[in-house]
Amino acid sequence: MMERAELAAHIPRLRRYARALVGDSHRADDLVQDTLERSMVKFHLWRRGSDMRAWLFTIMHNVFVNQLKTRRELALDDAAEAALQSAPQSDPLELRDLDAALRQLPADQREVLLLVGLEQLSYAETGKALGIPIGTVMSRLSRARERLRELMSVAPAAVANLKVVK
Partner 1 sequence: MSNLTDFDFHAYTDGQLDDARRIRVEAHLAHDAQTAESVRNWREQNETMRALYNPVLNEPVPQRLLDVRATRWRWPSYALAAGAMCLSFALGWILHANQGDLLARTAALPRRAAIAHAVYVPEVRHPVEVGADQQDHLVKWLSKRLGAELKVPLLTQQGFELVGGRLLPGGKGPVAQFMYQDAKGQRITLYISIRDTESRDTAFRFSQEDKIAVFYWIDGNLGYALSANMDRASLLAVATSVYRQLNS
Residues that bind partner 1 (CB under 8 A): 1-2, 4-13, 15-17, 19-20, 29, 32-34, 36-37, 40-44, 52, 66, 70, 91, 94-95, 98-99, 102, 113-114, 116-118, 120, 122-123, 138, 141-142, 145, 148-149, 152
Q: How far apart are CB 24 and partner 1 at their closest, in Å? A: 13
How far is the C-alpha of 63 from the C-alpha of 154, rounded, in Å? 33
Region for residue 57 given its phi and psi (left: phi exceeds 0; alpha: psi -120 to 50; beta: otherwise):
alpha
Q: Which residue, 17 or 55, is less far from partner 1 as judged by CB?
A: 17
What DSSP designation does 153 have? H
What DSSP designation does 87 have? S
How far is the C-alpha of 39 from the C-alpha of 47, rounded, in Å? 12
Q: How far apart are CB 165 and partner 1 at their closest, in Å? A: 25
Q: How far apart are CB 28 and partner 1 at their closest, in Å? A: 8
